[in-house]
A and B are shown apart, each in its own frame.
Chain A
Amino acid sequence: MRNLYLFFLKYKDHFIFLFFVFSSFTLLLQNDNTNTIIIRGKFSDKLSIISSPFAWMRSMSQLEQETKILREKNIQLTLRIESMSNANEEHKSLLKLLELKEDSDLELIAANVVNSGSSSNLSSITLDVGENHGIKVDQAVLVPDGIIGKTIVVGKNSSIVQIINDVNFRLSVRILPSGNAGILRYLENDICEIRELQKNAKISIGDNVVTSGFSQIYPKNLPVGEIIEVLNQRGSFQKVAKVRIKSRIGSLLHAFIILNDIEID
């Protein structure tokens, strides 16, 4: 017995090593054992008390960087929403243009607005169609909401359009349902006035204003706007009506040009 003890003592390193290797292998083979998993879970819970303050410190140090990334992401998403919103508006606008082209008997050619003009004394836009597309000078330009101008200069592939808000622009119009005709000119902020109306003309607020047809440029009955005010000045032989035009002149992206030759009624 003593010899056995001495033998063990002499080779204790090897015996201890073999014992722990055996124990380690036993544990390795018990990895999927439910009890092992439970013990590991409980031990991990206890140790999380120690590690949680360090984890908190780590998360705090990452917070600033995370906030920066989130800010960038926020801006990116805002821009994307803005872009999608614009695309949606453009889509709606193009659908309206398509409807107009399909419903109208007029021969229309679609064009994109490529420039809003920089002349100080002429309100104009530039369209990306010209002679090569059959465009001539003095052709009516419109959008689904109504007339917006006429071509005044035509190049090979582009045209300049004098638009309705130009100070020298005049348009012969008719007020419906009364049928009174007058001359329309632009005032400000999408408001125009119609002069040369008969004193006894029956005009009400909300009446529609359309083109009269007394022109070689504009076909009759194209929408222009609606009456918002009627001025009956004392001592004057005429009435003056104020009209709000429907077309949003400041944000034009697309337009149509009427190619038909117009005959005066």
Chain B
Amino acid sequence: MIKQIYIGLGAFLLQFILVDILSIKMIRPDFLVIYIFYFTLLNAKYKGIILGFIIGLLSDLTGVGSYFGLTSLTLSLTAYLTGFLNGKYERLLPYFFHSIWVSILLLHFYIITYVRFQILYESSTLDFLFKFIFTFGYTMMFFVVIQFFFPVKDASRAQIS
């Protein structure tokens, strides 16, 4: 647990310090959602929700997100939904399992993109969709890399302590 908290601190610092370097046309990767996702799979759902809220709050406080409370909301929601996947890999069809966690991340990014780019959504839906897909896709690139070292299915099999 302590180790995971340290990883969380690392993820937060990574998000806070290095995210500008990795920024492409104002689109930044979201390491916090990756961390909360894995943390919830490895731990109890409520712990993920609490940590998601706290980390989201810290992220909003640092100005990484322009809407105070938005990241807390989306990370709590991601943790809550991810919690349902705990130990479910064996019980669900693999493609269904993978579709669910991808959908959870899609929802996370859709909410963030929708709130931040409401005006774009109203003026040009196509541009909004591109923005949403790029934001999601950019973080997914990092997610896929992490997948090689620590697959989601392995994390899901972990027993709740």
A40 close to B17 (CB less than 8 A): no
Q: Which of these, B16, B18, B70, contacts A28 with CB under 8 Å?
A: B70
Q: Are A20 and B53 in contact (CB under 8 A)?
A: yes
- B21 part of interface (Cβ distance < 8 Å): yes
Which residues of the other chain, A, contact B17 by a CB distance below 8 angstroms?
A: 50-51, 54
Is B150 part of the contact surface with A, judged by Cβ < 8 Å? no
Bitwise interface map of B from 43 to 82 toward A, beta carbon under 8 Å scored 1, else 0 = 0111001101100110011110001111011001100100
A-B contact count (CB 8 A): 76
A interface, over-half SS: helix
In the complex where A13-B49, A16-B49, A40-B63 touch, is A24 in contact with B69 (Cβ < 8 A)?
Answer: yes
Residue A118 is within 8 A (CB to CB) of chain B in the complex: no
User: Nearest chain-A residue to B48 (Cβ)?
Assistant: A13
B interface, size bucket: 20 to 34
Asked if A17 and B69 make an inter-chain contact with CB atoms under 8 angstroms apart, the answer reads no
Chain A: minimal CB distance from B23 (Å): 12
**CB <8 Å contact, A31 and B69:** yes
Asked if B29 is at the interface of the complex by the 8 Å CB criterion, the answer is no
Greatest chain A CB density within 10 A among B44, B52, B61 is at: B61
B49–A24 touching, CB < 8 Å: no
Chain B residues near A40: list those with CB within 8 A. Answer: 60-61, 63, 68
Q: Give the Cβ gap from A98 to chain B, nearest Cβ, in Å.
A: 55
CB pair B68 A27 closer than 8 Å: yes
Q: Which A residues are within 8 Å of any B CB, using their own CB?
A: 12-13, 16-17, 20-21, 23-28, 30-31, 36, 39-40, 43-44, 47, 50-51, 54, 58
The 7 closest A-B pairs by CB, nearest first: A27-B69, A24-B73, A28-B69, A43-B61, A20-B53, A17-B80, A20-B76
Residues of B within 8 A of A (CB): 13, 16-18, 20-21, 44-46, 49-50, 52-53, 56-57, 60-63, 67-70, 72-73, 76-77, 80, 83
- A-B contact sample (18 more), CB < 8 A, given A16-B50, A24-B69, A28-B73: A13-B49, A17-B46, A17-B77, A20-B72, A20-B76, A23-B69, A24-B70, A27-B72, A36-B68, A39-B61, A40-B68, A44-B61, A44-B62, A44-B63, A47-B61, A50-B13, A54-B17, A54-B18
A and B contact pairs by CB, cutoff 8 A, 29 listed: A13-B45, A16-B50, A17-B49, A17-B80, A20-B53, A20-B72, A20-B73, A21-B73, A23-B69, A23-B72, A24-B53, A24-B73, A24-B76, A25-B69, A27-B68, A27-B72, A28-B67, A28-B68, A30-B68, A30-B69, A31-B69, A40-B61, A44-B61, A44-B63, A47-B16, A47-B62, A51-B16, A54-B18, A58-B21
